[in-house]
């Protein structure tokens, strides 16, 4: 697998949320507003890149028997540091995300990438993998939160996470009378998630079906050619 493929894998083919179904707990819970999605996404990207880099750096000296506890200590430390930074510099984000920041520790994406990628590849590739996977996760969050926020409130807005009073943009898409507020609730999260996962699966299936059809057509053409040659 070359570097570019490796980097873009996180978006569609190995999208952690809608394709690998990793880290869904926080996805369902926090995707109520765009602000939460971006804040959570950035926190996960930061943790993912740093944990991948550190684990890749120590991969040759980590004894195989205790690699999982070592990974967990590294990840937990990073998450705690990120949590402190968010508490100190983006207090409104901390109130909005609450317990889901410390829960990044047990987000399967991070331990999953550490175990399956960073422990076997060099530092640069691991950092790239962390960025790609993190961006894939963030994109999934953003897509879900935009759908849910627009349907449930009719408004799409984004405030400065470092200063809650500063609005960066805000516009109304659906008139107030036609919003479906249930999309703010867990039910809405499940519906949105199911539809998006189904859409991605449908897209991937169509792609493989197309590739197979192409292969068959090629084979048929070759067979016809061979027949003619006879």
Partner 1 sequence: MKKILHLTIFLALVAAISGGALAFANNLTAPIIAENALAAEKENLKLMFPDAADSDFQQIDVKGNSKTIEKIFTVAGTETIFKLQVTGYKDGTSFMVAFDESGTITHYAVISNGDTQGIGSKVADDSFADSLIGKKGNEKLDTISGATISSTPVVDGINEAAQYFADNME
| Residues 35-74: x where in contact with partner 1 by CB under 8 A, - otherwise, as a string | --------------------------xxx-xx--xx--xx
| Residues 131-170: x where in contact with partner 1 by CB under 8 A, - otherwise, as a string | ----------------------------------------
Q: How many CA atoms lie within 13 A of 182 on its CB side?
A: 5
Q: What is the nearest approach in angstroms of partner 1 to the Cβ of residue 81?
A: 4
Q: According to the binding rule CB under 8 A, does residue 106 interact with partner 1?
A: no
Secondary structure (DSSP) of 79-101: HHHHHHHHHHH-HHHHHHHGGGT
* 126/115 Cα distance (integer angstroms): 11
Number of residues that bind partner 1 (CB under 8 A): 19
- Taking the alpha carbons at both ends of the chain, their separation in whole angstroms is 41
Query: Rounded to 5 degrees, what are φ and ψ at 171?
Result: -145, 150
Q: According to the binding rule CB under 8 A, does residue 223 interact with partner 1?
A: no
Nearer CB in complex with partner 1: 63/175: 63
User: Around Cβ 198, how many Cβ atoms within 10 Å?
Assistant: 11
Residue 154's SS3 state is: coil
- Residues at the interface with partner 1 (CB under 8 A): 61-63, 65-66, 69-70, 73-74, 76-77, 80-81, 84-85, 87-89, 91
């Amino acid at each position: 697998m070359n570097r570019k493929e490796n980097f873009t894998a996180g978006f569609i083919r190995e999208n952690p949320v809608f394709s690998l179904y990793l880290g869904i707990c926080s996805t369902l819970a926090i995707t109520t507003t765009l602000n939460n999605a971006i804040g959570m996404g950035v926190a996960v990207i930061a943790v993912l890149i740093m944990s991948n880099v550190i684990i890749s750096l120590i991969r040759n000296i980590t004894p195989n028997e205790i690699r999982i506890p070592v990974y967990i200590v590294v990840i937990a430390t990073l998450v705690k540091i990120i949590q402190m930074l968010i508490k100190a510099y983006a207090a409104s984000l901390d109130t909005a995300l609450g317990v889901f920041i410390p829960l990044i520790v047990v987000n399967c994406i991070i331990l999953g990438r550490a175990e399956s990628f960073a422990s076997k590849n060099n530092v640069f590739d691991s950092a790239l993998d962390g960025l790609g996977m993190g961006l894939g996760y963030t994109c999934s969050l953003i897509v879900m939160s935009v759908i849910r926020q627009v349907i449930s409130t009719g408004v799409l807005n984004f405030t400065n996470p470092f200063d809650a009073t500063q609005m960066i943009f805000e516009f109304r898409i659906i008139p107030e009378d036609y919003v479906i507020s249930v999309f703010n609730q867990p039910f809405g999260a499940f519906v949105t998630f199911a539809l998006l996962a189904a859409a991605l699966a449908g897209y991937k299936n169509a792609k493989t079906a197309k590739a197979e059809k192409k292969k068959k057509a090629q084979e048929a053409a070759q067979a016809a050619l061979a027949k003619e040659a006879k």
